[in-house]
Amino acid sequence: MRILKYIFLLLLLSIVALSIFIATQKGNFTIERSKVINSPKSAVFNYVNDYRNWADFGSWTTEDPEIKIQYPATTVGKGASYSWEGKDGNGEMRTLFVKENDSISQKMNLNETTSSVFWSFKDTVGGTKVTWKTTGEMSFLFKVYTALNGGVDKVIGTMYEKSLANLDKALDYEINTFSVKVNGLVKKPQIFYLGQTFTSELSKINKNTKIVIPTIVAFCEQNDIPINGKPFVIYHTYDTAKGLAKISICVPINKEIFISAGSDIVSGKLEASEGVKTSLTGDYSHIKDGYEKALTFLNKNQLTQDPLISHIEIYATGKNEVKDPSKWVTEVYIPIVPKIIPVKTYPKTPVKTTAVSPEVIPASPIAPAKIIKPAAKPAEQKKLPAQKATEEEPSEF
């Protein structure tokens, strides 16, 4: 019995000693991992910036098939968040700051341990160098957990390494898998729309569409305006040398409406037209391929591009319909000037003069036969009887 008491006491003292040791260890930590991702910087940034994609690369979700994930209304950009409940504990992520195609700042709470998370994206040989860094202070329970699993650097560092490898794998397929179909010459009906028109850097058009389209959709909902189709962008000008374009970001509506002056949102109309169409299936970063193939078809078939509009991009299927970028569909449409079809004229066939009866003139090769009646003869004057004398000779009485 004494031996059991000594063993119990020894275990108790060991636990107390371990607890004191853990409690006195430094709680603050900084963990950083980097990896070159084989995808364009904008594609990597956009993928990481949307929490709905984290389930495809976060190791704490990919290794836990029963994890429960909750997404709020906003999962992209500043103010976005998501949370999870899994076998390794509960967590929450929230985005505090975003610099387009450059960096993301977040706040993470994992098992009551709060930390600051930073992402940076840099162009490099072979793709994009992604650096994932976190700093924070561990709670007592997290200290115990990390102490029993090799330390905080191993716990979080291993999680980041696996996640970055998953990110590279997911993006290598999702971003780099695409195809362009040349639909050829098509006719586009008349379209009424609401939109915003401005000049934008080419590199920022994708970002601007993500801001403007939800704004116009919200305007339609507030004013009970039915939306009739998919959002699109009209490129009035497209200057690759200067990297600028004058664009209208639009949402189609059922009929033409009039908006009071001074509004950022304006109404417009695209007339029915004919043009060259191509369809990109895949991430939007490959849209240039769709545009160039449309131009190639246009030039090969000696078609003349409309001087008033460079081209139109229609977002037929986007992330609102399907999460996977490899399944997104963007249509490129280049309006053309209608060909003028010359009117054929035929030389007049000479008509031979022939003696004809006064009653009928035969039909010529061009004019239909005309029946002409002969002119009426002047009426013959009837000989009247000699007029009797109107005066008689005076009679004699």
Q: In this predicted model, what pLDDT tens digit does every residue of 46-98 receive, in sequence order?
A: 999 999 999 999 998 888 888 999 999 899 999 999 999 988 788 999 999 99
pLDDT for residue 296 is more than 60: yes
> Under a CB-based contact definition with an 8 Å cutoff, are residues 185 and 300 in contact?
no
Tracing tokens 């994930």 back to the chain, one arrives at: 69
- Give the tens place of pLDDT for each residue, 243-279: 999 999 999 999 988 888 888 899 999 999 999 999 9
> Under a CB-based contact definition with an 8 Å cutoff, are residues 226 and 254 in contact?
yes
> And the tokens for 255?
């009929």
| Full-model pTM | 0.70
Q: How far, in Å, CA of 73 to CA of 123, rounded?
A: 31
Q: What is the DSSP letter of 241?
A: T
Q: How far, in Å, CA of 89 to CA of 70, rounded?
A: 14
pLDDT for residue 194 is more than 70: yes
Closest CA to 121 of 171, 207, 31, 48: 48
> And the tokens for 119?
């992402």
| Residue 17 burial by Cβ neighbours in a 10 Å radius (0-12, 13-18, 19+) | exposed
Helix (H, G, I), strand (E, B) or coil at 78: coil
Q: Which of 64-73, 139-148, 188-197 has the highest mean pLDDT?
A: 188-197
Q: Where are the beta strands (DSSP E) in 125-190?
A: 127-137, 179-188
Quote the pLDDT of residue 330: 97
Q: Distances in Å between the alpha carbon of 181 and those of 36, 77, 195, 289, 292? A: 31, 32, 28, 10, 12
> And the tokens for 160?
């980041």
- Give the tens place of pLDDT for each residue, 374-395: 444 444 444 444 444 344 443 3
More confident residue, 148 or 183: 183
Q: How far, in Å, CA of 77 to CA of 319, rounded?
A: 15
Helix (H, G, I), strand (E, B) or coil at 331: strand
> Under a CB-based contact definition with an 8 Å cutoff, are residues 274 and 338 in contact?
yes
Tracing tokens 């002047």 back to the chain, one arrives at: 378
